[in-house]
Amino acid sequence: MPVSHRSTPSSTLWGIPALVAGLLVLAAGGTAAPAAEPEPAAEPAAAPPTAAEPAPAGGEVVLLDADSIVHTVLAEYLVEGIAGADEAAAAAVVIQLSTPGGDLDSTRRISRAILGAATPVVVWVTPSGAQAASAGFFILMAADVAAMAPGTNTGAAHPVMAGGEDIEGTMGEKVEQDSAATIRSLATRHGRDVAAAEAAVLESRSYTAGEALEKGLIDLVAPSLSNLLAEIDGREIAKGGRTVTLATRDAPVREVEMPVLKRVLSTLAHPNIALLLLSLGGLGLYFEFSNPGAILPGVLGAIFLILAFFGLSVLPVNYAGVALILLAAVFFIAEIKVASFGLLTLGGVISLVLGAMMLFDSPVPALRASAPVIAGVAIFALLASGLLGRLVWKSRREQVRTGSEGLLDQRGRAFTEFAPRDGAARGKVFIRGEIWNAVADVPIARDEPVRVVAVDGMTLRVHPAGGPAAE
C-alpha cells in the first residue's frame, strides 16, 4: 500500500522560464508513488578495529544541491554525483538538502547510494528556513555526518496514506512498524538518538536545528559551508570496514550542478508546472479543434500534454481530478458545436477548478497545486474559451465565401458584350479574378458592372449592378 509522511507546509513555486527549454524534451516517466521511508539498512557486521586513515591528500569536496521534491530526477542526480565522487577519490560529498518529501522509490535509491558510498557523505539542511521533512528526514538520518543550518527543521515522518489520512488496521500497524524499524536502523548505524528518531516516525515529531542537535539526531549546526567544512575536519567516519579521517578544512569545493536536461525535467515535476502544462495542452487542442488547420496550436498542445504527463508520472495523482479536467475539455469543445449561451463554458471552468484542486493527492502543500495558479488557469481558460466562442458565432453569421454560395451577390464586370441568343443574353463576366460563362435577362454592354444573382453549375446568372436582388 502506498504511504507518505506528514511534513510541515512548504509552498515553493518553481521558475516557469525553464518551460521554454522543456518544450523540446519528450519525457517518459514511471509510476507515481507518494512519499515514504527507505528500506531498512542492514546493520554492519562487526569488524576488527582499523587505524583511522586520512582522506586522500588534496582531495576535493563535491557539493550537490538537493533543493526540490524527492523524485526520480533528483535521485538520479544524487546517485550519479556520489558515484562520481567515489571515482574521483573525493574527500567528502556535501548534499545541501531542502525538501518537503517525495516518492518511495527515489528515497530508497538515495539512501542506498549514501550508505554504500566509499566517500563520506555529509547531508546539510540549508539555507535558513529550509526543511528536511518526510522522506528528507530519512535521507538526513542516512548521512555519515548530519548537519543543519540555523532556522531549519526536520522530522514529521509518520507514514500516512497518499491523501493524508491515517492507515487503518493491521496494514497501518505494519507500515508504521516498518518505518520505525528503518529509522532505528539508520540511527543506530550512525550512533544517533534512537528514541528521538523513532518519535519523528511514530509521533510525527518535528525538530528545529537546535532541538535536533540537543537530542542527538544531528552532529552539528553550521551557518555556512566554510563553517561546516571547518567543523567536520578531523572527524572519523566508518566507511566500508575502514575508518576515514575527514580532511575538509582547506579542501577545494567543486559544485556539481544538475544537468540542464535533468533541471528541466525536475521543473516539470512540480505540481504547479504540471498543472499549467496540462491546461495549456488542453487549450492548444481546443484551439485546433475549433479552428481546424491552424496546426501550431495543435502541435504545441500535444507537446505540452506530453511534458505534463511526465510531471504527473512522478507526482501523487488523484485520477478523479484527471477525469474532471478531461470533462472540462469536453465541455469547452461542446461549446463550439452547441448553442448553450455560455452554460457549457461555465461548466467547463467549474470542472477545471475542481479537477485542479483534486489533481494532486498529497498532505504535503508543496506536492499540491497552489491556489493562485489554479485561479489563473481558470481565468485564462474562461477568457480563451469565451473569445473562441465569440469568434465561432461571428463566423457563422458572415456570408459564405467559398463554393457556389460564395459567388452570390458578388460584383464584377462584363468581360464581353451580352448579345441575345436562344432567348437569353449570353456572354462572359470577370468575377473575383476569374472569367465565367454567364447569362442575363437583358443585353449588357462590355465592361458594364454586373452582380451575380444565381449559380447554375458552371454558369452564372447576372444582372446589371443596379438590378434586382439575388434569387
Domain range for residue 453? 405-464
pLDDT value at position 441?
84
Q: Please state, in angstroms and as integers, the Cα–Cα distance from residue 54 to each residue in 86, 120, 152, 240, 246, following that order.
A: 15, 11, 31, 14, 6
- Does 365 reside within a domain? no
Confidence at 282, pLDDT banded by 50, 70, 90: confident
CA distance 78 to 83: 9
Which residue is it, cell 497552489? 370
The total number of residues shown for the chain amounts to 471
Q: Is the pLDDT of residue 62 over 90?
A: yes
For range 244-269, the mean pLDDT: 91
Residue scoring higher pLDDT (440 or 21): 440
**Contact 140/159 with Cβ under 8 angstroms?**
no
Radius of gyration (C-alpha) of the chain in whole angstroms: 34
Domain end position, chosen among 208, 239, 261: 261
How many angstroms separate the first and last alpha carbons of the chain? 74
Domain count of the fold of the chain: 2
Q: Is 56 within a domain?
A: yes
Q: At what angle do helices 343-358 and 371-397 cross, to 10 degrees?
A: 160
Q: Which of 12-21, 206-215, 226-235, 387-396 has the lowest mean pLDDT?
A: 12-21
Mean pLDDT of 180-196: 91
Give the count of beta carbons closer than 10 Å to the beta carbon of residue 362. 26
Residue 202: is its pLDDT beyond 90? no
Q: What integer pLDDT is reported at residue 346 of this predicted model?
A: 84
The number of CA neighbours under 13 Å toward the Cβ of 396 is 11
**149: Cα separation from own chain's centroid:** 29
Residue 84 lies in a domain: yes
The more confident residue out of 33 and 285 is 285
341's grid cell = 449561451
Is residue 155 included in any domain, yes or no?
Answer: yes
Residue 12: its H or E element: none
If DSSP codes are grouped into helix, strand and coil, which group holds residue 133?
strand
CA distances from 377 to 71, 266, 345 (A): 25, 21, 14
CA dist., res. 73 & res. 78, Å (int): 9
Integer Cα distance of 68 and 58 in angstroms: 31
- Average pLDDT (358-386) is 79
- Cα–Cα dist 419/432, whole Å: 23
Please indicate, yes or no, if residue 470 is contained in any of the structural domains: no
pTM (two decimals): 0.65
Could you tell me the three cell numbers for 356?
Answer: 485542479
Within the chain, what is the greatest distance between any pair of CA atoms?
Answer: 121
The amino acid present at 380, given as its one-letter code, is F
Lowest model confidence (mean pLDDT) among 3-12, 60-69, 130-139, 220-229: 3-12
Burial letters for 40-68: b for 16+ Cβ neighbours within 10 Å, e otherwise? bbeeeeeeeeeeeeebeeebbbbbbbbeb
Asked whether residue 383 carries a pLDDT value surpassing 70, the answer given is yes
pLDDT at residue 219 tops 80: yes
What cell does 47 get? 569488524
422: Cβ contacts below 8 Å, ≥ 6 apart: none
Within 10 A of 201 (CB to CB), how many other CB atoms are there?
26
Asked whether residue 16 carries a pLDDT value surpassing 60, the answer given is no
Q: Which of 261, 287, 314 lies at the terminal end of a domain, its last residue?
A: 261
Query: Does any domain span residue 273?
Result: no
Identify the pLDDT of residue 20. Answer: 35
Indicate the helix (H) or strand (E) that contains 32: none
Going from the C-alpha of 302 to that of each of 240, 287, 305, 331, 459, the distances in angstroms are 49, 12, 5, 19, 46
- Among the candidates 261, 279, 297, a domain finishes at 261
Question: What mean pLDDT is reported for the chain?
Answer: 79
**What's the CATH code of the domain at 448?**
2.40.50.140
Task: Answer whether residue 24 is part of any domain.
Answer: no
Q: Say whether pLDDT at 300 is over 80.
A: yes
- Cα–Cα distance between 366 and 373 in angstroms, integer? 13
Which sign, positive or negative, has the C-alpha torsion 5, 319, 315, 114?
Answer: positive
What is the share, in percent, of the chain residues with pLDDT greater than 70? 76
Domain containing 233 — which CATH number?
A: 3.90.226.10
User: Is 400 inside a domain boundary?
Assistant: no
Mean pLDDT of 89-101: 94
- Give the CA count within 13 Å in the CB-facing half-sphere of 124: 28
d(CA 31, CA 264): 19
d(CA 160, CA 300): 38
pLDDT tens for residues 28-57?
333 333 334 344 444 443 344 444 555 454
Q: Which three cell numbers stand for residue 460?
A: 452564372
Cell triple for residue 166? 491515517
**Confidence check: pLDDT of 389 > 70:** no
Output 119 or 406, whichever has higher pLDDT: 119
Quick one: average pLDDT of 275-298?
82
Q: Which amino acid is at 122?
A: V
Contact status, residue 112 vs residue 39, Cβ threshold 8 Å:
yes
